[in-house]
Amino acid sequence: MTPRYTRPEMGHIWSRQHYFQCQLEVEIAVCEAWAEVGLIPRADIEKIRGASFSIDRIDEIESTTDHETDAFVAATAETLGPESRWLHYGLTSSDVLDTGLSLQLVAAADQLLERLRNLESVASKRALEHKKTLTIARTHGIHAEPTTFGFKLLVWVDEIRRQIRRLEDAKEQIAYGKISGSVGTHANVPPQVEEIACANLGLNFANVSNQILQRDRHAQFLTTLAIIGGSLEKFSTELRSLQRTEIGETEEHFGEGQHGSSSMPHKRNPFRLERICGLARLLRANAHAALENMALWHERDMSNSSLERVILPDATIALDFMLWQFGRILGGLRVNVARMRENLDFTHGLIYSQGILLALIEAGMSRQEAYAAVHEHAMQAFNDGTPLNELLAADSQVTELIDEDSLRGYFQPDRHLKWIDTAYSRLGLDSSNDQGG
């Protein structure tokens, strides 16, 4: 992943130093387990705990061996004495690589969960702030009925919470190690060593494995990241649309001295939101690649390995950046309350047609007759701009059933908001301190 989209915390998790450090932790944990079952002398373990490595030395050895794990083990052994013979005892490369990778993925998941929980907090705060900020809801891109901007955000809060639960589950499924030897039969490393080592690393142990951890775990993890990215793309697409000049209801923060275009000085573009949408496509592509990695030959082949060195860091780094970026956008989002109200009135009252329809039905008119009556006036209002309430007030068929005061009441947006407190309550949000306009 390009450094442009790499936040320091996630970048560290996927650095080469941390990559090998996780493998060293696995090697030491296995030696600790061997000592616990009585194979490795305690004096040797004390020295093995002080093992280290040099990336330059690993690279130097690998240039000859063309085998990264052997180079890592050899470079680490050079920092020890005779006790180095216990490093990698009974193991295959994947015992170390897959278990070390799980440590990295768990750390990445924790970082992403922190970002998600922060985003949920920001979205909840703004949903409360704009609980009563009237705006027009759109279906098919067309004005539908009144809603509030806070209610829009409340839908996002619920979705973010679902994403937190999904990622927690994906983290649980990836928090596994395997120390079971070359084909998983424990021929050279007993199950007890695996169980002790994984526990020491804070991981579960795979009940059964072949040479590797099965890649359905990694596929679930990356598809979960793609789903989270899909939500961020959805949120960003909505805000991008609302920022369009002819709508103008929200806007990304535009800082002092910021430029929107190299050629048009007036431009204020939603480029951060567009960036999030673009990276969401990368997450979906990586998820597809992870699904392709599930089918390997026999006890394993290595066709998954090279791909995972790209898609796992890239996906977690990209989503980390997206969550960080969107949290900042939403927290600093400019909400144009006056423009929302202006747009609410744009269709001369057409958005209140359903209330009149239902009122006529309640007054005794058949649904078909009521729909036809309201539809006729709505189409006239749409075509010539005459306010719908004026057309209805001039129709004796309507006024015989709905008096003038009641008719005016159906053209008030507040009547559409009488139940939104229920949704806030269902999400456990205290809306008593809302500040909406």
At 319, the amino acid letter reads L
CA distances from 329 to 6, 252, 254 (A): 17, 6, 10
Crossing angle of helices 93-129/303-331, nearest 10°? 20
Q: How far apart are CA 377 and CA 314, in angstroms?
A: 56
Active-site position among 52, 54, 261, 425: 261
Residue 147 phi/psi, 5-degree rounding, is -145, -165
Q: What angle, rounded to 10 degrees, do the helices at 93-129 and 191-201 form?
A: 30
146 has which bridge partners?
A: 136
Is the separation of the CB atoms in 201 and 99 below 8 Å?
A: yes
DSSP for 44-76?
A: HHHHHTT----HHHHHHHHHHH--HHHHHHHHH
**HSE (CB half, 13 Å, CA atoms) of 121?**
8
Ordered DSSP codes for 139-187: ETTEEEEEEEHHHHHHHHHHHHHHHHHHHHHHHHHH-EE----SSSS-S
What is each CA distance from 101 to 22, 56, 75, 305, 388, in whole angstroms?
8, 21, 20, 11, 64
Return the structure tokens found at 61.
């050895």
Q: Is 261 a catalytic residue?
A: yes
- Show which residues are catalytic: 140, 261
